[in-house]
């Protein structure tokens, strides 16, 4: 009965260590997800609005200089913006180029383009969506991850020692 008890204790101890290690590893990944805020489009919109603010602060300029200023500024500012924002910026730039070709500014059309850019930026999400923890959340508690890994390795080590210390049976002893 002594050998059976020893063997059962080794198996039970190994199982407890392996399960505890797995539990710590699972627990280390639980928590709030590390979702990144949707700031790329927000910063692109901020850059676009900065171009408009800079233009408003400029002294009066020729139509050619205005088109050049907006083309350079908005093309650079829209980098990283959503397709909707990029589309509205492209429409405004096309209207500015058309105005340059005719030599006359179509103010109502440009105001409508500006409003469309405003609306497209307002439709962008202000931050990351609310998410729960999960496998995509990453490691929330690195210390628990380390403890879980250590306990799991300890359980595997105990299992290896238990198998190694088992008495060897010769083929004829059944």
Kindly indicate the confidence band of residue 94, based on its pLDDT and cuts at 50, 70 and 90: very high
Tell which wins on pLDDT, 112 or 66: 112
- Note the pLDDT of residue 128: 57
Burial of 137 (0-12, 13-18, 19+ CB in 10 A): middle
- Note the pLDDT of residue 37: 47
Sign (positive or negative) of CA dihedral 88, 93, 97, 102: positive
- Domain co-membership, 25 together with 55: no
Tell which wins on pLDDT, 145 or 77: 77
pTM assigned to the model: 0.50
The Cα 133–Cα 118 span in angstroms is: 34
Q: Which two tokens stand for residue 97?
A: 């180029």
**In Å, how far are 3, 38, 41, 101 from 123, measured between CA atoms?**
72, 12, 10, 32
Residue 154 within any structural domain of the chain: yes
Kindly indicate the confidence band of residue 115, based on its pLDDT and cuts at 50, 70 and 90: very high
Residue 174 within any structural domain of the chain: no
- Domain co-membership, 103 together with 43: yes
Average pLDDT over every residue of 59-63: 82
- Note the pLDDT of residue 106: 87
- Domain co-membership, 15 together with 62: no
- Domain co-membership, 102 together with 50: yes
The number of distinct structural domains making up the chain is 2
Residue 56 within any structural domain of the chain: yes
Q: Which two tokens stand for residue 43?
A: 């910063």
């Amino acid at each position: 009965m002594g050998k059976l008890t020893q063997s059962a204790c080794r198996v039970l101890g190994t199982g407890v260590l392996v399960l505890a290690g797995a539990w710590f590893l699972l627990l280390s990944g639980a928590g709030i997800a590390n979702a990144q805020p949707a700031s790329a489009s927000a910063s692109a919109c901020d850059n676009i609005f900065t171009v408009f603010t800079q233009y408003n602060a400029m002294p009066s300029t020729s139509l050619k200089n205005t088109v050049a200023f907006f083309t350079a500024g908005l093309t650079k500012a829209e980098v990283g913006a959503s397709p909707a924002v990029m589309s509205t910026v492209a429409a405004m730039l096309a209207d500015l180029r058309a105005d340059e070709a005719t030599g006359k500014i179509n103010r109502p059309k440009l105001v409508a383009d500006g409003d469309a850019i405003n609306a497209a930026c307002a439709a962008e999400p202000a931050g990351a969506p609310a998410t729960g923890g999960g496998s995509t959340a990453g490691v929330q508690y690195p210390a628990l991850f380390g403890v879980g890994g250590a306990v799991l390795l300890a359980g595997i080590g105990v299992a290896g020692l238990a198998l190694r210390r088992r008495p060897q049976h010769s083929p004829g002893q059944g």
